[in-house]
Amino acid sequence: MSIWENFWDLIWWFLWAFAFIAYLFALFAIIGDLFRDQKLNGWWKAVWIIFLIFVPFLTALIYLIARGKGMAERSQKEYSQVRAAQEEYIRQTAGTSASPSDEIAKAKALLDSGSINQQEYEALKAKALSHTA
């Protein structure tokens, strides 16, 4: 057996492995989309799953052709919801960052109300101004 026969066997094996892994990715995407779809009732989901088990390649191909556009829309909708939730979490965690003039105005209000003394006011003012530098 020559080295080239082994080489082409290896290439053929990689091709089949790639096709199988690509099929698994498509299968998991289809199953995830089935359970993400709120409009499809449970019986239709069960029918799709049964066909995916017994006629996997044909069912996956039909699902991608028939429901591919809706699949993309549901995926985009979920991505948008996750992104909005992340942005809201970041806003809540980071809090509102006031400008130095806002911080100085708040400190001045505290000074005027008598809650802090002149030295504390100067310290807050210096801290607010140091954030701009």
Say yes or no to pLDDT of 25 above 90.
Answer: yes
Say yes or no to pLDDT of 133 above 60.
Answer: no
Supply the pLDDT for residue 30: 94
Q: How far, in Å, CA of 126 to CA of 103, rounded?
A: 10
Listed residue (31, 25, 43, 23) closest to 71, CA to CA:
31
Supply the pLDDT for residue 44: 93
Listed residue (70, 61, 58) closest to 34, CA to CA:
70
Say yes or no to pLDDT of 95 above 70.
Answer: no
Supply the pLDDT for residue 6: 85
Where exactly are the structural domains of the chain?
A: 3-95, 98-133
Read off the pLDDT of each residue in 63-85 and give the average, rounded to a whole number.
91
Lowest-confidence region among 21-30, 41-50, 78-87, 97-106:
97-106
Supply the pLDDT for residue 114: 87
Q: Is residue 107 within 8 Å of residue 116, measured between CB atoms?
A: yes
Supply the pLDDT for residue 97: 59
Task: Kindly give, in sequence order, each residue whose CB lies less than 8 Å from that of residue 71, ignoring residues fewer than 6 positions away.
Answer: 29, 30, 33, 64
Q: Is residue 107 within 8 Å of residue 124, measured between CB atoms?
A: yes
